[in-house]
Amino acid sequence: MEIKATFKIYILQFKLPGGTSRGILHTKETYFLKITKNRKVGIGECAVFKGLSADDRPDYEEKLQWLCDHIDLDKAFLLNELIEFPSIQFGLEQALLSFKSKDNFELFPSDFTKGNDSITINGLIWMGDRSFMQEQIKEKLKAGFTTIKLKIGAIDFKTELELLKSIRNEFSANEIELRVDANGAFQPKEALEKLKQLSDFQLHSIEQPIKAGQWDEMAKLCDTTPLDIALDEELIGIFKRSDKEKMLQRIKSQYIILKPSLIGGFHGTDEWIELANKYGIGWWITSALESNIGLNAIAQYTYIQRNKLPQGLGTGGLFTNNSISPLTVKNGELFYDVKDKNGWDISILNI
């Protein structure tokens, strides 16, 4: 029997609306890729992010169907043909690893998947009014997080500064590490002054202070900033290794943020890591609102990279209609909780 592939769309529903500088998120569209041969199954998530992914294009499903029609071809050839569709590359890599796995879900065997170790992660604070953000902060601190990431840039900047000040009045930088993510919300002319004000609160870093694509402006910021800058959206849509290297050489940021579903899966992430290490640029890995299928793959991959910084992998609990998985968060750590017999149940996905 020859190998076959199919795909289906799935709409993830947020438990609470997620606020970013790009707007309020109520749902997240994603696709599942399924490959089969002789009763053997492999499952991957093509986690396209509408309005953000480079492959958010009208021909997305057409390309997915092309992949299904040619699934028997060489993996390297397929990945190269899909270079402008990073989320499909991500799904294909997962599906092939899942197909080879004994249980479909242990893609990168390690102490993490055996339940013997964990990954330190940050607690994510969504944008909203002051009381909503304060409540989220209290919940994350109560849950044992020592690194908190706040989305900023959508509400009044003065209010955001007051929120940060209220945290610092209670917790020092040694007790709670603070990261902020502007999602490109600042204007280049005002960005440096805002970074100076933010630096008063001993923040770890700020993600993407200005919109992506302004390499010269971002390079000036990274050269003069009092606060470490991490590039995020800046990486999206750069497909060639030579262009990745050119961007890193030009901007010289302190960090880059790696989201496998947005930058070409694990192969694309490997390339960014190699270049970042070459130029002495720090990095960490973040999920991008995938279901537990995609989050599982990213978490397992992240663990084997042995990066000691807190990672951004706490998004699995955001949805009402996610699959059941062994991924659990305890005291700011992500576990693959096989010891408590928390197994997989993907029946809700109807793949």
pTM: 0.95
Name the pLDDT band for 314 (thresholds 50, 70, 90): confident
Segment 261-303, tens digit of pLDDT: 999 999 999 999 999 999 999 999 999 999 999 999 999 999 9
In a domain, 109, yes or no: no
In a domain, 21, yes or no: yes
Distance CA 33, CA 68 (A): 8
In a domain, 30, yes or no: yes
Find, among 278, 271, 286, the residue nearest to 239 by Cα.
271
Question: In terms of domains, do 78 and 162 share one?
Answer: no
pLDDT of residue 125: 87
Q: Say whether pLDDT at 5 is over 60.
A: yes
- Residues with catalytic roles: 151, 259
Question: In terms of domains, do 81 and 199 share one?
Answer: no
Q: Say whether pLDDT at 18 is over 80.
A: no
The CATH number linked to 265 is: 3.20.20.120
> If you average pLDDT over residues 313-319, what whole number do you get?
84
Domain end point (choices 47, 69, 100): 100
Question: In terms of domains, do 169 and 300 share one?
Answer: yes
Least confident of 72-81, 114-123, 166-175, 217-226: 166-175
Mean pLDDT score across all residues of the chain: 94
**Which structural domain, as residue segments, surrounds residue 195?**
119-349
In a domain, 113, yes or no: no
Segment 193-216, tens digit of pLDDT: 999 999 999 999 999 999 999 999
Question: In terms of domains, do 180 and 82 share one?
Answer: no
In a domain, 111, yes or no: no
Domain end point (choices 100, 130, 156): 100
Question: In terms of domains, do 198 and 260 share one?
Answer: yes
Q: Say whether pLDDT at 173 is over 70.
A: yes
The domain tally of the chain equals 2
Question: In terms of domains, do 25 and 158 share one?
Answer: no
Domain end point (choices 100, 133, 153): 100
